[in-house]
Amino acid sequence: MYVSMSRLAVPAERAPEPVAAFKSPARLAGSATGFIDLQLWQSDRDAGEVVMVGRWSDRGVFTAYLKSADHKASHRRIDPGRKADITMRELEHTPTYEMVAE
Amino acid sequence: MYVSMSRLAVPAERAPEPVAAFKSPARLAGSATGFIDLQLWQSDRDAGEVVMVGRWSDRGVFTAYLKSADHKASHRRIDPGRKADITMRELEHTPTYEMVAE
């Protein structure tokens, strides 16, 4: 299994919004072959720290998704106000991992 | 669901070892009520970056585990050579999250 992890910094006062905001990308990614699931984690010490964890069957599936029309569409569908919030604060590169044990 | 994430920096040349090294802690945590699983992720860009992801039914279960004899035992069982490697490089605090969507 292959894991992608995006750590986003969003304004804490908008913390209740991520669940709704990320449902569309999850639906889109869900149509990609080899996509397992997309989880949204919210820090319990800093409500403004949100982690998106994507799980994929292997690295190839993930990189194919990044190049896909679905991926572009998922970013287009982010609310413009939210996008500005995220971009202004920080949008780190996406660390990726092989799940080596569980 | 509650998630704990420990990011460890280990020497890349010892990268093949983590799977075996972390099997004991996983077994011990497995005896805690409310423990779901312990996953080990290894970066595919930096073999020395290893993430331990623990999943728990809720925050209370996790904090109870931290105070337990099982937790102390799991740390005692880490190979002394490995422990020195980890400590010398970096042993971050453990960020924790509520899984708010999947």
Q: Does B41 touch chain A (CB under 8 A)?
A: yes
Residue type, B77: R
Contact assignment for A101 to B3 by CB distance below 8 Å: no
Q: Distance between CA B68 and CA B102 in Å, rounded? A: 30
Residues of B in contact with A26 (CB under 8 A): 101
Q: Is B45 in the A-facing interface, judged by CB distances under 8 Å?
A: yes
- Residues A47-80 pLDDT 10s: 888 888 888 999 898 888 888 877 777 667 666 6
DSSP reduced 3-state for A1: coil
DSSP β-ladder status, A35-43 and A49-56: antiparallel
Supply the DSSP symbol for A49: E
When comparing pLDDT for B13 and A2, which is higher?
A2
Three-class HEC string of chain B:
CEEEEEEEECCHHHCCCHHHHCHHHHHHHCCCCCEEEEEEEEECCCCCEEEEEEEECCHHHHHHHHCCHHHHHHHHCCCHHHHHHHHHHCECCCCEEEEEEC
pLDDT given for residue B6 in this prediction: 81
The per-residue pLDDT for A16 is 63
Spatial neighbors of B76 by CB under 8 A, at least 6 apart, are none
Distance from CA of A15 to the nearest CA of B (A): 11
Distance CA B36, CA B38 (A): 7
- Smallest CA–CA distance, residue B86 to chain A, in Å, is 18
- In the predicted structure, residue B99 carries a pLDDT above the cut 70: yes
Quote ipTM for the complex. Answer: 0.71
Q: Does A23 touch chain B (CB under 8 A)?
A: yes
Q: What is the pLDDT of residues B68-94, one digit of tens each?
A: 877 777 667 666 666 666 654 444 566
**Tokens standing for residue A33:** 């072959």
User: What's the pLDDT score for residue B2?
Assistant: 92
Task: Please indicate whether residue B18 or residue A56 has the higher confidence score (pLDDT).
Answer: A56
pLDDT tens figures, B19-54: 566 655 555 566 667 888 888 888 888 888 888 888
Find where tokens 């090294």 sit: B21
Q: Does A42 touch chain B (CB under 8 A)?
A: yes
